[in-house]
Amino acid sequence: MSAQIPELSNPSVCMKDPQRVQDILHSMVKAGSNTLQVISDFDMTLTRFSHNGKRCPTCHNILDNSKVISADCKQQLDHLLHTYYPIEIDSSRSVEEKLPLMVEWWTKAHDLLVEQKIRKDLLAEAVSESEVMLREGFQLFFDHLHEHSIPLLIFSAGIGDILEEVIRQAGVFHSNVNVFSNYMDFDESGVLRAFKGELIHIYNKREGALLNTGHFQELRTRPNVLLMGDSLGDLSMADGVQDMENILKIGFLNDKVEERKRSYLDSYDIVLIKDETLEVPNAVLIQDCLFI
């Protein structure tokens, strides 16, 4: 039984230890797809980072750029982005140093959105009018997982209501998809009044994973994990998985490549550099399902 995947020779693919990747793939293929679960980030992992040289929006950006918020609010959110995003991707700062600043960013942004009294019935239009794009190959990715009854957990520091609308409008919000994210809390007239529960941000996904033990308890017969992310904070998304046997970590390195390449190669098994497709994850999944 071979776990050779031609797509791993793509120019966008980097691996620190190709033999280790082959060994993990071999073990996962041997165990079969009924032992597999997929845990993925959303923004800039399942969605594109850029298209034709232009940045694509995140879940937060979809609202930022929409008609549902005022020009003044847009300006304030843009100021927050330009203040905090460089900190998020600064490889010279430690996670401990970034953590309070990321919480500050998310909290300020959510407070601004709540002030806008956003109506729930306008979210679908905000998504349809946006330039958000799922990565090339998304249809195969979502449909393949659904057809083989492989659970997909999307773990996002974005806005769950927007995220769900993106995949719903793309026709891929299948029954095997679960979402952990920041959800809006609307009043009885459908106006945003707060965000529900604990804030999920880029560096506390581990805590989120451990809080959702019920989800992972149900999946305890699936000890093999394909994890997909675009930041080092995404690496902890599988920390709630019980009795894990194998984990294959695929990281999308979208920005500041030379500064961050080493840390990504040290952390992810497969690093995809400026790759706007799901070609490699799809090849891994198809390989895993060949020997059911």
In this structure, what DSSP letter does residue 277 have?
Answer: B
Mode of pairing for the β-strands spanning 54-55 and 50-51: antiparallel
Which residue type, as a one-letter code, is found at position 5? I
Integer Cα distance of 273 and 262 in angstroms: 12
Instruction: Answer yes or no: 43 catalytic.
Output: yes
Integer Rg of the chain from CA: 19
Q: Respond yes or no: is residue 288 known to be catalytic.
A: no
Backbone angles phi, psi at 153, to 5 degrees: -105, 115
Query: Can you tell me the distance from the alpha carbon of 182 to that of 57, in angstroms, rounded to the nearest whole number?
Result: 17
Helix orientation angle between 71-88 and 95-115, rounded to the nearest 10 degrees: 170
Q: Tell me 281's DSSP state.
A: H
Alpha helices in the chain (DSSP H): 18-31, 59-64, 71-88, 95-115, 123-128, 138-147, 160-169, 205-211, 213-218, 257-267, 279-289
| Cα distance from N-terminal residue to C-terminal residue, the chain | 12
Q: Which amino acid is at 286?
A: I
CB 249 within 8 A of CB 268: yes
Question: Which of these is catalytic: 23, 43, 234, 239?
Answer: 43
Active-site hit among 23, 41, 78, 255: 41
Among 133, 134, 113, residue whose Cα is nearest residue 182: 113
106 CB-contact burial (10 Å; exposed 0-12 / middle 13-18 / buried 19+):
buried
- Asked whether the beta carbons of 26 and 3 are under 8 A apart, the reply is yes
Catalytic residue list: 41, 43
